[in-house]
Amino acid sequence: MINSSSAAVSRPLRSTPFKAGFWLVVLGAALWGVDPLFRILLLKSMTSTQIVLLEHVLLFLAAAPVLWKNRAELKGIGWRQVGALLFISWGGSALATILFTTALSSGNINAVVLLQKLQPLFAILMARWILKEMLPKFFGTLLVVALIGTYLLTFGWQLPFTQVNDFIQIGSLLSMGAAALWGGSTVMGRYMVGKMKYEAVTSLRFMLALPLLLVITLSEGAAWHLPSGGWAVSAVFINLLLQALLPGLLSLLLYYKGLSTTKASYATLAELSFPMMGVIINWAAFQQAVTLTQLIGFILIWITLFYISRQKQEAA
């Protein structure tokens, strides 16, 4: 899954939440919620690393013509830009996706999906550290509220030290790690905007991630347990292709198209379709209903993001 944060985007646009752009953001974010369905089904045949490797091969094949068309963008690139591109590709594209995929098989699926709303907070913190951007007003208080929401999503009402297994919720920790890497990737992507075209950055994201993913897959040494029979194998690769194109490329195209005419505060509302779709899929396909504690935790995180988004919109 390739995620992004509308909370980090501010534009003085004249639009209402009922414009077409708003619903494009809704549709693009909803496709992110479908992502766990494909990944969990693929985990029956492959490891997390194998899934992400094949996903990036397909995405690179789709993006390679774009990179060739924009090959002039590679001239004059410096070491800082190389470092930013490696963070985007190795961290945001390869490692974050592996962490997210592994989390889906290691914890509560709803918690894994809902915790992805922490991504904008990581992006804001890294933007302050790397790009020297100002923090929103009352950010310390807002961060505490978001951390309380994260705690409720991860541990519920239990004390974390009652049992080691309660404290080490591996699925939630992996999900937060993925959110941190995706948030940092957003910041690095913002840094690269003035250096080369977005199309070139996106293509390099997939290309540069491939060598690392290949090394990780080979070092893992896991066998490829593909199902026997022509139709079963075809079903796995059709599933993989749909996962790469629908929650991957198509969702980004719809999301950025809609975001170009949608205010950040409205986009934050529109992005609620991501966790809502994820929860619906998890309930229908995997019989995992969201708990009241998870709902309260998610609302606290969303209130934090909405308040920050409104601040940015008013400043713009």
pTM: 0.77
Where is average pLDDT lowest: 30-39, 51-60, 227-236, 279-288? 227-236
d(CA 33, CA 272): 10
**Residue 90 per-residue DSSP state:** I
Statement: residue 278 has pLDDT above 60: yes
Where is average pLDDT lowest: 77-81, 174-178, 196-200, 309-313? 309-313
**Can you tell me which residue has the tokens 């937060």?**
176
| Helix intervals (H) in 193-262 | 198-220, 230-244, 251-259
**HSE toward the beta carbon, residue 215, CA cutoff 13 A:** 7
